[in-house]
Structures are given as structure tokens and as C-alpha cells.
């Protein structure tokens, strides 16, 4: 993953919905540790992948040893999707205890400012979303909801939709700054809408999409997506140019094209790659650089995921 800051760095049943009486920290957000820093401290290791924006919004994949420690209050909401071996675990918040079973398809939510002790007996593989409350409120406002209620604490809570969305982040990055940032921003907003709909004290019903982009606005957006500048194809720039919020731009763009902005750009870059491979003698390393990939290896892996063969093999077959 890449980003503005990147580092390759109820006891009687399972899936407790919330933890009543959870400990909340009353200190200001500025006094709390950022989510990525607190996770590094408590997990005692480096993430397999991490992509962060300047606000601390980001996605990280961790594999860590058994955990028996307290997670201190953080300045972000943390949402986790579990992808490891099935195991029982325990989470203590104040005098409340939640016992659940970690398995694929469950999620864990640590609201900002909360603190709890975790006892997990086996190694863990998770993908985490770090979400500022300001982002949750922005999405709620853009979606014209009544406003976000507090996120509930969740411990091994079944939610296949959120789990699949978050786990997809670990597999969808391509080593391309523009593509990866656009994917991450879309995913963050999509997950925020899911949290509002399923994981607050007052679940929200989002209004359906009302129409797509006008032909003029759609053409301008496509021109931006075809730009070689990463700044031009950012989700903020695309939405601002269209005079829409990020939330409504993504929905309207998909209504017009059948694809999300990220999927459209990914297909466009793939088409460019195939044209360059077929019609030129440019070395593959040069094609990778021209299309914004961090390395030839990253480009080759992304190409193979889409086409089913390496760029070299595809080029030979097409000539």
C-alpha cells in the first residue's frame, strides 16, 4: 500500500454486539495516540502493509503474536476484519467482559477514545481501518443522514459485508500511487457509510442514488482521470471539479458509467499498458514507470491479476 505516509511499516454467546459500560477516555483527541502508533506499540511489530493520509486515515494489515495487553485510547475509530485461524478471545472494558470467536466474516470496532484489555491466545491476521470521527461526520452529512450516533464497540461481530470490503484492501493495491489512493479514499467513504448503517446506536438509512452526472461534467471527470498527474485524479479533485461531495460524486459516476472512479481508472491504465506493450518496443520497466507504478514488479503483478499472464508473455502472444 502507498500513501502520503507509508510504512512497510455477552460471555454466553459469540459475537457480542456491544460492550456496555465501556471505558471512554475524557482527554482531548490531541492528547490521544494516533491509531497506527498505538497499534505498533501494543502489537510490538511492524505492519505488513500500511497506507496513511495526513489526517491519520488509513488502512493497515498486521500479523502479530498472541496478545495480552491493554489498548489505550486512540484518536481514531479502528475497524478490523479478521483473516486468521478461528479462535476464542476475550475483551474487557471496565467491568464488562465480551467473549467471542475470531473467524473470517467478523469485525471488531474500537471507537475513538475507548480503552480495553485484549486476551487473544493465538497469532492474529487482521486488516484495520483508521477512521477519524470528522470523516464519519462528513460522510453522514454528505449522505444527508440525521447525523452519526456513537459507534458501538463490536467484538467478533458477524458482518460479512464490512469484512469483505476491508479484507479486499489488502489484495487490491497495485503499487500505483494514483490508483491506490483513489481506491483507499473510495473504500474509506464506503466503509463509513456501512458503519453508519450497521454499527451505531441509531442505524441510518441512506437515500438512494438520484441520477448520474451530466454529459459535460462526466466528460470533464473522464479527462481528469486520463491525466498523468496524480493530483488531478484524486477523489477530492474529481468531486470538487464536479461541484459534488465525494459521496455523491462516486455514486453519480457509477450511475453514469457502471464503474466506480477507481475501477474506471484501473481499466484505463490497463488499456494503456496493453497498447504500449503491443504497439511499441518500450521496455516493460519503462511502461511501468510511465503508468505510475512504483516498480516493474508491481506493474507485472497488477497486469497478471487482471489478464492472467505476465506483460512479457502477453506481448509475445500479441505479436
Three-state SS for 63? Answer: strand
Question: What are 304-314's pLDDT values in tens digits?
Answer: 999 999 999 99
Angle formed at CA 114 by CA 34 and CA 155, multiple of 5 degrees: 105
Give the range among 121-125, 131-135, 145-149, 261-265 with minimum mean pLDDT.
145-149
What pLDDT is stored for residue 147 in this prediction? Answer: 55
Q: Is the pLDDT of residue 128 over 60?
A: yes
- On whether the CB atoms of residues 175 and 302 are closer than 8 A, the answer is yes
Nearest to 61 by CA among 9, 119, 120, 132: 9
What pLDDT is stored for residue 12 in this prediction? Answer: 31
Nearest to 129 by CA among 37, 35, 64: 35
Q: Is the pLDDT of residue 239 over 50?
A: yes
Looking at per-residue pLDDT, the higher value among 201 and 34 belongs to 34
Distance CA 247, CA 193 (A): 9
Question: What are 138-166's pLDDT values in tens digits?
Answer: 888 887 766 556 899 999 999 999 999 99
Global pTM value:
0.79
What's the whole-number mean pLDDT along residues 108-127?
96
Using 50, 70 and 90 to split pLDDT, how confident is the model at 94?
Answer: confident
Nearest to 150 by CA among 195, 120, 84, 92: 195
Which residues pair with residue 89 across a beta bridge? 100
What's the whole-number mean pLDDT along residues 66-75?
97
Question: What are 193-207's pLDDT values in tens digits?
Answer: 899 989 987 766 656
What pLDDT is stored for residue 170 in this prediction? Answer: 77
Nearest to 311 by CA among 289, 292, 284: 284
Amino acid at each position: 500500500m502507498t500513501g502520503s505516509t507509508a510504512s512497510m511499516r455477552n460471555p454466553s454467546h459469540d459475537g457480542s454486539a456491544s460492550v456496555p459500560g465501556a471505558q471512554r477516555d475524557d482527554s482531548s483527541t490531541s492528547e490521544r495516540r494516533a491509531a497506527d502508533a498505538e497499534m505498533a506499540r501494543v502489537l510490538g511489530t511492524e505492519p505488513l502493509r500500511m497506507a496513511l493520509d495526513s489526517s491519520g486515515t488509513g488502512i493497515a494489515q498486521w500479523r502479530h503474536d498472541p496478545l495480552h495487553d491493554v489498548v489505550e485510547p486512540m484518536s481514531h475509530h479502528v475497524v478490523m476484519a479478521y483473516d486468521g485461524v478461528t479462535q476464542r478471545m476475550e475483551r474487557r472494558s471496565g467491568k464488562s467482559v465480551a467473549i467471542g470467536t475470531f473467524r473470517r466474516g467478523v469485525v471488531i470496532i474500537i471507537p475513538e477514545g475507548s480503552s480495553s484489555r485484549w486476551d487473544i491466545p493465538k497469532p492474529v491476521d487482521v486488516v484495520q481501518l483508521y477512521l477519524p470521527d470528522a470523516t464519519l461526520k462528513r460522510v453522514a452529512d454528505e449522505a444527508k443522514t440525521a447525523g452519526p450516533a456513537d459507534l458501538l464497540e463490536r467484538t467478533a461481530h458477524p458482518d460479512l459485508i464490512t469484512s469483505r470490503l476491508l479484507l479486499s484492501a489488502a489484495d487490491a493495491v497495485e503499487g500505483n500511487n494514483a490508483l491506490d489512493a483513489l481506491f483507499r479514499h473510495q473504500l474509506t467513504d464506503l466503509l463509513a457509510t456501512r458503519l453508519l448503517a450497521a454499527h451505531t446506536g441509531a442505524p441510518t438509512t441512506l437515500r438512494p442514488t438520484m441520477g448520474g452526472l451530466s454529459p459535460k461534467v462526466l466528460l470533464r471527470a473522464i479527462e481528469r482521470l486520463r491525466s498523468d498527474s496524480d493530483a488531478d485524479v484524486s477523489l477530492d479533485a474529481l468531486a470538487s471539479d464536479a461541484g459534488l461531495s465525494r459521496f455523491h460524486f462516486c455514486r453519480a459516476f457509477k450511475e453514469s458509467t457502471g464503474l466506480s472512479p477507481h475501477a474506471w481508472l484501473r481499466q484505463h491504465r490497463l488499456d494503456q499498458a496493453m497498447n504500449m506493450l503491443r504497439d511499441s518496443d518500450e521496455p516493460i520497466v519503462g511502461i511501468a514507470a510511465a503508468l505510475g507504478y512504483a516498480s516493474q514488479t508491481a506493474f507485472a503483478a497488477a497486469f497478471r491479476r487482471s489478464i492472467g499472464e505476465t506483460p512479457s508473455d502477453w506481448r509475445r502472444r500479441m505479436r
